[in-house]
């Protein structure tokens, strides 16, 4: 599973850059694919995450907003916002990833990269999303992602 962990981190980089530069996510992704610079090419799973998040962004943001009572997306640190989008996409759209794994990976990423309070905040938001047994999950509609 180390490969998926690295792919999540690379997907986070793309989503964070798009957010900070206020660019369309898929434009940043295309740029990273065409010109990886000094980094290795993006792993296939990172591309799947970024593409999935971009395609479901309004849905993911709605679900995250509903679960983060009292916190608008704009108030969240950009890293937390990107990590929540990744994990919510995995929970709602990738049946190959167990919900507990998506949550654990998200909490670990924000523990390493964000504020001191981020890990408990992200854990709470994702637990709320997971406990809703997402009716928004498109079970069977998405191809499983490797």
Tokens 């206020």: give the residue: 22
pLDDT band for 1, please (50, 70, 90 cuts).
low
Residue 35 counted as domain residue: yes
Structural domain count of the chain: 1
Report yes or no: 53 and 64 within 8 Å, Cβ to Cβ: no
Range of the domain at 31: 2-131
Distance in angstroms between the alpha carbons of the first and the last residue of the chain = 11
Taking residue 75's Cβ as centre, other Cβ atoms within 10 Å add up to 10
For the stretch 7-51, pLDDT in tens is 999 999 999 999 999 999 999 999 999 987 777 889 999 999 999
In a domain, 141, yes or no: no
pLDDT on residue 136 = 52
Average pLDDT over residues 80-90: 97
Instruction: Show the tokens assigned to 58.
Output: 């309004």
Q: Is residue 138 part of a domain?
A: no
Q: Is the pTM of this model over 0.75?
A: yes
- Is position 140 within any domain? no
Question: Is residue 54 domain-resident?
Answer: yes
CATH number, domain at 86?
Answer: 1.10.940.10
């Amino acid at each position: 599973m180390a490969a998926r962990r690295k792919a999540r981190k690379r997907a986070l980089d793309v989503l964070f850059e798009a957010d900070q530069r206020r660019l369309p996510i898929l434009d940043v992704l295309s740029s990273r694919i065409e010109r990886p610079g000094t980094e290795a090419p993006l792993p296939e799973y990172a591309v799947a995450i970024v593409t999935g998040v971009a395609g479901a962004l309004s849905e993911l943001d709605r679900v995250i907003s509903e679960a983060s009572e009292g916190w608008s997306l704009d108030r969240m640190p950009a890293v937390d916002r990107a990590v929540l989008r990744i994990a919510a996409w995995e929970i709602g759209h990738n049946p190959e990833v167990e919900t507990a794994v998506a949550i654990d990976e998200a909490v670990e990423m924000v523990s390493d990269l964000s504020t001191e309070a981020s890990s408990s905040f992200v854990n709470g938001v994702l637990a709320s999303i997971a406990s809703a047994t997402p009716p928004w999950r498109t079970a069977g509609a998405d191809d499983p992602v490797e």
